[in-house]
Structure 1
Amino acid sequence: MRPASGAPSVPVPAGPPAPPAPGRLGEPLAPEEALAYLQALGGWLARRRAELDALDREVLASRDPARLTGDVTLAMTLWQAVADREAQLRVLWDSGRVGRDERERMAALVWGRRSAGPTSASGSPLALSVPEACRLLDAVVGELRERLGLDPSGAQTNARVAALRAQLERLRDQAALEPVGSARRRADEQVHALAHRVADAAAKAERGGDVGGVLGPLEIEAATLERDLIVGGARRREAGALVARVRAERDRLEQRETALRALAERCVATVAEAPRYAVPDVDALGPLPNTAPALAAYEDRLGLVARALDFAEEAYARALREHDHRVARLDALHVRAEATGHAGQPDVARAYAMAREALDARPSRAALAEQLVTLYATYLETAR
């Protein structure tokens, strides 16, 4: 078929779906499974890249390239994310020179979720495992082919129906991951309706009917639904991680607030010139919100509270450190006076008593205590 512009084009063969990933998170991959997967994944990446390059040329030749540029960019981003992970897997594999630890790290690379693909509501890349990124890439490419009108009918009808049935199985698995309640019911209903239409199309094709005009919309709908379910799952995981992170940060700040209040009370009781900074009240921020944008804004406000705590902690701690330094200096001078035999001289003894009294006073007047410690040091230097 021809691209949307009507200009002749070189056929763009459809690539096969991504190979199934072996093992699972937390368990080392079997060596033979790891090798087979690396070979299959490398071949799939090469074929998918050639297909993406050809699709990119078709998009540029279409009547409205801007309409499809976002899909091409998303597909390229997903391909690069999988290719980067495949390269890391090959480094770990090291031509088969791997032990249990390396094979366990390979499983973590395959099944661990890392930033890839579209962005979440907070603007950060979604965290996807290799199988999720591969399925999402397959779905995006399939949708892109349909929008370009590149898939032929006739000879490939059976293959397209088989691919739709395989996609329906993936959709059922993905729908089962939706939260219990209305979201899962809605996903199940969409998958069930899609499966019914695919079954009708397959039955019509078996009777010899032309289903070329039916399969295209079905493939677009299935690809869109799979993409939406994968992205939705990734966003839910990110939202859960955001809630946990914000809750942990709030708990940590509440502990710091309690510690700062004790520090401020001790400082005010010890030093007359203590700072008079208000201790930030974490409770004033209110409870944690329940939407991603509001949580992100709440996290920003927690950051402001953390900086205010940092400033107040440093100010109060500095005042206490300076007081402790004066005490330590006076003690060191007194040890020196006793060692040199000058501690009993009237002027030296009187200066020491005045400095000690100023430091022991509660609260201690920092400026006066500093002057008296310096006076004691001067008397000690001039003592004979």
Structure 2
Amino acid sequence: MSLDLGMTTGPAGGAPRAPGRLGVPVGAAEALRYLTDLGLWIDDRRKQLDAIDAAALNAPNQTDRDALTHDMTVSMALWKAIHDRYELLKVTFDSGRVGAVQAEQLSTLIWGRLDVTPGVGRDAERARVPSAAEGALAVSLPEACRLSDAMTSSLRARLALEPSGLDIGIRVKAIREGIERLRDQIALTPPGAARDKNSADLIGFQQRLFDVTERAKRGGDVGGYLGPLEIDVAGRERDLIVAASRRHESERDAATARTLITELAARGDAIRAMQTQCLASLNPAPKLAVPDVRALGAVPDDPDAVDALLARLQLVSRALDQAHETYARALGERDQLLGLMGALDAQAAASPEIDAQERADLAPLRAQLADALASTPIPLVRARALMAAYQSYLQAVTRKGL
């Protein structure tokens, strides 16, 4: 099957190399070169994806269509995230007016986390991005571009969309470059069974590429060997990029969890002190449990366990909010009663219209109220009733002439 994919750089031409690294300012000249190349790459990639999308919809097998639609959903979401970040870069670049602040911002936009909002605009029918896509998009802009290259290469190979006259040497070169990128990705993975398996598979890819090259040198047909190898190399590159982004995300989540635990532990200690004060000074006092976040233990290493811990930390935070509000409100009522008694005493002292008999009536009410508020703990029901009686009688005698 032959199809014009609208490529200007050829299938071996991947995303442009990003300047610098995170935290290193990007100068105006290198930013201009990168934005120019990235803009061309984005336009070409959209044309390729549109052509692949049309071919995927016409795939004869429903199972194939479903699998292709999944990867197309991810690829389209990736493209939109890259395009949106490119627009932000252009605004920051501001036609070359790049000062120190803008240079830092350009670096952050290029190497910082790339987010995506799927199911918008033209791609609204792809409303739910699969979970794999969500992980894939927690990457930097250069990683997202490489991931897009890998997925597009895999989709082209699965749909046999390589232009009919494409030189075998170009395809072999693209596979060799993909293998080298795999080598770089594997070097970044932590030691363990997964790294050992990827290293063994890398050797297998190299051997398959060597066999294809030797077969081509002998004049043999290698078209049937290149396609599967392209799919396998591109798929493995995609998986490694996504796995790396998930590791980084897990590390950030673990750091977030540690910070939250420290903050929640401090809040919990303060609220328990408030609880102790409330129970000692009021009767009846609210009885609400104050969770101790330390009971959840240390932050685990497993990413899924970290996610579960973050969810539990949110529950602890809400429970602390409720306890804080409850005990603060109770202590606030105690302070309000004490403040109101002082205000009523001042009102009584400043009211000459109150005669001696009325003051004699007020005196025992005031004495009983003061005794209740001086008790430890304060009997709230009695104090409220005495306050109501004292306030009501005082209002009555100060307004008797009205």
TM-score between the two structures when normalised by the length of structure 1: 0.88
For residues 218 and 125 of structure 1, the distance between their equivalents in structure 2, rounded to whole angstroms, comes to 22
Match of 1:201 in 2: 212
1:238 deviates by 1.8
Match of 1:360 in 2: 374
Specify which of 269, 273, 293 is matched with residue 262 of structure 1.
Answer: 273
Match of 1:145 in 2: 156
**AA of the residue aligned to 1:89:** L
Whether the 8 Å CA contact 2:178–2:233 is kept in 1: the answer is yes
Q: Which is further off, 265-274 or 328-337?
A: 328-337
For residues 343 and 29 of structure 1, the distance between their equivalents in structure 2, rounded to whole angstroms, comes to 84
Q: Which is further off, 240-249 or 129-138?
A: 240-249
Match of 1:233 in 2: 244
Q: Which is further off, 154-163 or 119-128?
A: 119-128
Match of 2:145 in 1: 134
1:248 deviates by 2.9
Match of 2:233 in 1: 222
For residues 367 and 216 of structure 1, the distance between their equivalents in structure 2, rounded to whole angstroms, comes to 83
Whether the 8 Å CA contact 1:168–1:195 is kept in 2: the answer is yes
Match of 1:41 in 2: 38
Question: Is 1:84 aligned to 2:72, yes or no?
Answer: no
For residues 104 and 285 of structure 1, the distance between their equivalents in structure 2, rounded to whole angstroms, comes to 39
1:261 deviates by 1.9
Whether the 8 Å CA contact 1:337–1:343 is kept in 2: the answer is no
Match of 1:104 in 2: 104
SS of 2:283 mapped into structure 1: coil
Whether the 8 Å CA contact 1:122–1:292 is kept in 2: the answer is no
Match of 2:184 in 1: 173
Q: Which is further off, 107-116 or 329-338?
A: 329-338
Equivalenced residue count is 377
1:323 deviates by 0.6
1:60 deviates by 2.1
SS of 1:278 mapped into structure 2: coil
Whether the 8 Å CA contact 1:343–1:349 is kept in 2: the answer is no
1:362 deviates by 0.2
Whether the 8 Å CA contact 1:122–1:296 is kept in 2: the answer is no
Whether the 8 Å CA contact 1:119–1:125 is kept in 2: the answer is no
1:258 deviates by 2.0
Matches within 5 A, 1:305-316: 305-316=316-327
Question: Is 1:60 aligned to 2:74, yes or no?
Answer: no
Match of 1:373 in 2: 387
For residues 279 and 233 of structure 2, the distance between their equivalents in structure 1, rounded to whole angstroms, comes to 68
1:88 deviates by 0.9
Match of 2:72 in 1: 72
Unaligned runs of 5+ in 2: 119-128
Specify which of 188, 193, 212 is matched with residue 182 of structure 1.
Answer: 193
Whether the 8 Å CA contact 1:18–1:135 is kept in 2: the answer is yes
- When the two chains are superposed, the root-mean-square deviation of aligned CA atoms in Å is 2.8
Whether the 8 Å CA contact 2:24–2:104 is kept in 1: the answer is yes
For residues 320 and 124 of structure 1, the distance between their equivalents in structure 2, rounded to whole angstroms, comes to 47
**AA of the residue aligned to 1:304:** L
Match of 1:6 in 2: none
**AA of the residue aligned to 1:185:** D
For residues 348 and 69 of structure 2, the distance between their equivalents in structure 1, rounded to whole angstroms, comes to 83
Please give the per-residue CA displacement for 1:263-308, whole angstroms capped at 9, x wherever unaligned.
1111111111111223334355455554333433333333333333
Q: 1:378 to 1:152 in 2, by over 3 A?
A: closer
SS of 1:115 mapped into structure 2: coil
**AA of the residue aligned to 1:81:** A
Whether the 8 Å CA contact 2:372–2:379 is kept in 1: the answer is yes
Please give the per-residue CA displacement for 1:299-337, whole angstroms capped at 9, x wherever unaligned.
333333333322222222111100100101112222344
1:153 deviates by 7.0
Q: 1:87 to 1:310 in 2, by over 3 A?
A: same
Match of 2:172 in 1: 161
Specify which of 262, 273, 281 is matched with residue 251 of structure 1.
Answer: 262
Match of 2:94 in 1: 94
**AA of the residue aligned to 2:15:** A
TM-score between the two structures when normalised by the length of structure 2: 0.84
Specify which of 303, 320, 328 is matched with residue 292 of structure 1.
Answer: 303
Whether the 8 Å CA contact 1:25–1:108 is kept in 2: the answer is yes
SS of 2:138 mapped into structure 1: strand
1:206 deviates by 4.1
**AA of the residue aligned to 1:147:** R
Match of 1:23 in 2: 20
Question: Is 1:335 aligned to 2:332, yes or no?
Answer: no
Unaligned runs of 5+ in 1: 3-8
Q: Which is further off, 340-349 or 166-175?
A: 340-349
**AA of the residue aligned to 1:110:** I
Q: Which is further off, 339-348 or 28-37?
A: 339-348
Q: 1:287 to 1:199 in 2, by over 3 A?
A: same
Please give the per-residue CA displacement for 1:191-237, whole angstroms capped at 9, x wherever unaligned.
23322332343344345443322222221111011001001111112
1:113 deviates by 1.4
